[in-house]
Amino acid sequence: MPDEMGKPLIRERGEGGGSRHLEACVSDPGAPVIGILGTGDFSRSLARRLVASGYQVVVGSRTPKRSVALFPEEAEMTSQMEAASQADLVFVAVFPEHHSTLVALKPVLAGKTLVDVSNGFRISQYGPSNAELLADLFPESSVVKGFNTISAWTLQMGPRDGSRQVFLCSNSQKAKNSVKQICHRMGFIPVDMGLLSSALEIENLPLYLFPSWRVPILSTLALFIFFYLYNFTRDVLHPEVTAGKSFFYKMPIDTVNVTLPSVALVMLALVYTPGLCAAFLQLWWGTKYNRFPNWLDGWLTTRKQFGLCSFLCAALHAIYSLCLPLRKSARFKLVNLAYKQVKAGVEDSWVDEEVWRMELYLSVGIMALGLLSLLAVTSLPSVANTLNWREFTFIQSTLGYCALSMATLHTLIYGWDRAFDPVHYPFFLPPTFMLVLVLPLSVLVCRLALFVPCVALRLRQIRRGWERSRHIRFTLPTEDCRNGMEDVSNV
């Protein structure tokens, strides 16, 4: 009987000759032998994860001796033909343009499951997919599309550091079930996407570049450009044209700092505008069963992204504001003002109105930024998953409107009485804050309109299935029986 305790725990890389075999101590003898065709980064990470999950792994390469040092000791490195012969299930980890080089393996792969992990170069709307082409090359094998949305880094570090979902599709339910078992054992969550015809959709998933962020980011950039040019015209171009004074030094910080809060407030108002539009549409239709227009449906699904863009602009505004006293221009202005006051014999320049305005302005702004931070944090999936629906709705809706109210009040205090001073209308352009306040004030007024008892009652009836055309009669539960989840703006 061999002495098991005498065996080394870690074998030397060259021990046992050029070919390493499958007697790894961590492997499960009852587990299927997993083959991997290909020796790229994904193949190495996949082999490491499979070995760590207790599988016997055999890797097929065109040049086994050159790639032997790149893979775990427990994985056998051999030729593609031998790997395909030994394996019960094979991962095809070669680029799709090289799939045709595997045709010689067709006899030994007949009746086996092939897992295609490839991706395309660009998003394709018409197909055929790489998995379908592979199925055409190997008609006697069962092709499963999967693992193409998992990066090599996620495979190597484990699912705890990356996405846990693995999208699978295949025409063979038996083959798909075998891959699902492998996913579970590796720590991932398989998501069944149906037949192999869904492979094109799965292959397109890794190629999308922030699809839900496109409209919010473009809206943020468009608003920033508009308000920046507007402020530049009022604060920089007007003095240059009318009085010959150069204020171009304001462009990097001053103009940007006035633009950022404008964008932040408008973007925050855009978060709650679609919910109000949906509520008024349901009141107009008298039913909740009519489908919203496509533009409104898309707007509703991107409210989170609009809110995060608003938070980004608000946070940058806070940082820019803290940096204002650090500028050389601010120091020169302060020194010149002090010199002028001494020269004029002014002993006390204290103005109660200006002091109170600035104190209230900063206090309300801090509260608005704090509420926005809370909204941003609770939008993270890891935080949102710890909240029930009532808690999440309270934060995102009730506290969200509080944040919008605080931000609007912050802008109103900033404006103070400037709207009534003709000096603040250069080129007959109104102050920036007047343009910014139009949408937030409209949203708040519409929100208050939905609190009117008769309007709120009818909207609650519609949300609970009442339809004007069907004349359904029922009694709403009393206030004591409500669970607090009915929110007129939450759609």
Predicted confidence (pLDDT) per residue in 333-371, tens digit: 777 777 777 777 776 777 788 889 999 999 999 999 999
Whole-angstrom Cα Rg for the chain: 32
Of the listed ranges 14-28, 260-274, 275-289, 374-388, the least confidently predicted one is 14-28
DSSP state of 315: H
Of the listed ranges 19-33, 448-462, 473-487, the least confidently predicted one is 473-487
The Cα–Cα gap between 387 and 473 comes to 35
Among 23, 18, 41, which Cα is nearest to 33's?
23
Q: pLDDT-based confidence at 153, cuts 50/70/90?
A: confident
For residue 419, the model assigns a pLDDT of: 87
Residue with more model confidence, 174 or 9:
174
Q: Are 227 and 262 in contact (CB under 8 A)?
A: yes
Reading the block at residue 255, the tokens are 């103009």
For residue 477, the model assigns a pLDDT of: 58
Of the listed ranges 138-142, 309-313, 394-398, 481-485, the least confidently predicted one is 481-485
Residue 79 sits at φ, ψ, to 5 deg, of -75, 165
Q: What distance lies between CA 373 and its chain's CA centroid?
A: 17
What percent of the chain has pLDDT above 90?
A: 68
- 96-101 average pLDDT score: 92
The Cα–Cα gap between 239 and 244 comes to 6
**Per-residue pLDDT tens over the stretch 294-315:** 999 999 999 999 999 999 999 9
For residue 157, the model assigns a pLDDT of: 77
Q: What separation in angstroms does the CA of 156 have from each of 43, 58, 207, 249?
A: 10, 17, 21, 51
Reading the block at residue 426, the tokens are 């250069």
- 40-50 average pLDDT score: 93
For residue 3, the model assigns a pLDDT of: 46
- 268-287 average pLDDT score: 96
Reading the block at residue 26, the tokens are 């961590």
* Averaged pLDDT of the chain: 87
- 318-339 average pLDDT score: 83
Among 127, 136, 436, 126, which Cα is nearest to 261's?
436
